[in-house]
Chain A
């Protein structure tokens, strides 16, 4: 499925998960930075789920999350993970292989 869509940027969908730990400064910064990048570059092309590990520790356990904030690109495969407050846009785009 993903192979077929490869190379076709339009219609390609990104499924992202952002894990944060409550409302620590890092978490708040990460949410802000990510939302900004997504709205600027990928409007309508993404699906973002924000998970608070303090409220849902079992989800953090399930996905084996250690560090927060952590951004995970679930789709397209392979899974890619970014940790940190996502303050550097360039690095985020490179890390997610979105350029």
Chain B
């Protein structure tokens, strides 16, 4: 009778929806839609060097750090000493956790002793040790890293399979949430070596370290979470100075608020052309060939913010801080003053200095620390040069969504490849994400190079449609009259339109 009651109860428990717990890695909650299935075992599969051990270790470390949960680390590959030492540089004090009885290692790393197999055996001792460790620290999280290392040590793979099945069953019975790592040989192939996915097939996470146009690209993909939702596809991640960070690009929701507050572009002519300035949380793209004044636009934008007491963060990928300050002086803008006041921060970096994920993380970090009202990236094209098409697109999407999320006005510049007309890949990827686009172009007229500017897009607002001529002098930028009597400026093939034609056209419009 009592027994029946019990089965009924467990059945009821199983039927309830699967709960999830926070994995602890930044961005994982977004791609997993809430975390890793609670009380279940998840297989973490990846090639050698893909970051399995670190991923698994962070699961335990953050479990303690963020949720005060204890963990057990079963290691088949590295010794506990090595693991503790390896993560020390990330600021994770595993020794401290052991002392606090919040972490226990089960050291199953290969022993140096010679061993012979005589007859039947099982992993009874290992299971007993794991259960003992779970009990000792009252563990909620268990990591087993990596089961693949077991296979070469024993002759009978049949026994290993059977025993792994027993281990996962024992973990399930304990109600702990477990991450079991296993190795795979190819980035795109069977899930794991030795067919271990058969034992832990409910949930599978694959991490990759793919060589993409001579660059290493780390990604994480949730292959399946049985009975619960998750985002699909690969998401890039990076190993930063304090752990793993996943960049959940397309997983991000468009929940940004829209502001109706206008901010100045730093130039009164452009403010007028845009009907009073840009919106406070908009992304502005300035596109033009070299020498048309993109950096000037950003300088004015920064100056316009700082002079109103707003903070501005400027990332320069083409020029040094000194160059930018000197440039500013030649346009009558004193950037030095704003830097000293703490309103302006200029960060100069070579695009080649790090990978796209690291650039993104460093930009986000600066944004979180400096808390700017305005952000300038000069230029995106410099970034485009060093990234693959795919990672560049991800970079831009992630950057602009983060900027919007923080309600920061962002001005990004993009260099077009040809002097007259033309477009760059940047625009193709970013134009739909931006709220405003300003185009700067050279206009060849009557044997001289002149400059033209137009606002081609301004979401949610009226803006001037004319192409105006502008000039640059030691007092900044001056926008003058619209070009009259010429057409096809933007395509780079400007040609004069006669008075007669103009009249005819205007008649048609009536």
Chain A residues proximal to chain B, CB less than 8 Å? 19-22, 24, 26-27, 29-30, 53-54, 57-58, 60-61, 64-70, 72, 78-88, 91-92, 94-95
Contacts and interface: CB of A to CB of B under 8 A. Distances in A.
Given A58-B132, A61-B106, A79 B122 contact: no
A51 to B, nearest CB: 9
B113 interface: yes
Interface in B126-145: 126-129, 131-133
A87 B113 CA distance: 21
B111 interface: yes
Contact of B128 (A53, A79, A92, A94): A53
A60 B124 CA distance: 10
A68 B163 CA distance: 11
Contact of A61 (B121, B124, B133): B133
Interface of chain A, helix or strand or loop or mixed? mixed
B6 interface: no
B125 A21 contact: yes
Nearest to B133: A61
A80 B129 contact: no
B414 to A, nearest CB: 59
Nearest to B104: A61
A26 B133 contact: no
A90 B118 CA distance: 10
A22 B124 contact: yes
B122 A68 contact: yes
A84 B118 contact: yes
B120 A81 contact: no
B9 interface: no
Interface centre among A22, A29, A64 (most CB of B within 10 A): A64
A58 B130 CA distance: 10
A12 to B, nearest CB: 20
A6 to B, nearest CB: 18
Contacts of B113: 72, 78-81
A16 B129 CA distance: 21
Contacts of B132: 57-58, 61
Given A60-B129, A83-B118, 12 more contacts: A19-B125, A21-B124, A24-B122, A26-B120, A53-B128, A53-B129, A61-B106, A67-B124, A68-B122, A72-B113, A80-B114, A88-B118
A25 B115 CA distance: 21
Interface centre among A30, A66, A83 (most CB of B within 10 A): A66
Contacts of B188: none
Contacts of B154: 67
B107 interface: yes
A68 B118 contact: no
Given A58-B132, A61-B132, A81-B114, A53 B120 contact: no
A86 B133 CA distance: 29
A67 B119 contact: no
A66 B122 CA distance: 8
B117 interface: yes
A50 to B, nearest CB: 13
A65 B126 CA distance: 7
B10 interface: no
Contacts of A24: 122, 124
B118 A65 contact: no
A30 to B, nearest CB: 8
Contacts of A26: 119-122
Contacts of B116: 80-83, 91, 94-95
Contact of A81 (B115, B129, B131): B115
B128 A54 contact: yes
B382 interface: no
Interface in B86-112: 106-109, 111
B118 A91 contact: yes
B119 A87 contact: yes
B10 to A, nearest CB: 24
Contact of B121 (A22, A54, A64, A69): A69
B123 interface: yes
B138 to A, nearest CB: 15
A19 B115 CA distance: 14
Contact of A87 (B106, B109, B118, B122): B118
A68 B123 contact: yes
Given A61-B132, A61-B133, A66-B108, A85 B125 contact: no
Nearest to B159: A67
Given A21-B128, A61-B133, A80-B113, A66 B123 contact: yes
Contacts of B120: 26, 29, 84-85, 87
Contacts of B114: 78, 80-81
Given A22-B124, A26-B120, A61 B129 contact: yes
A60 B128 contact: yes
Contacts of A64: 107-109, 111
Interface centre among B107, B108, B128 (most CB of A within 10 A): B128
A66 B154 CA distance: 11
Nearest to A24: B124
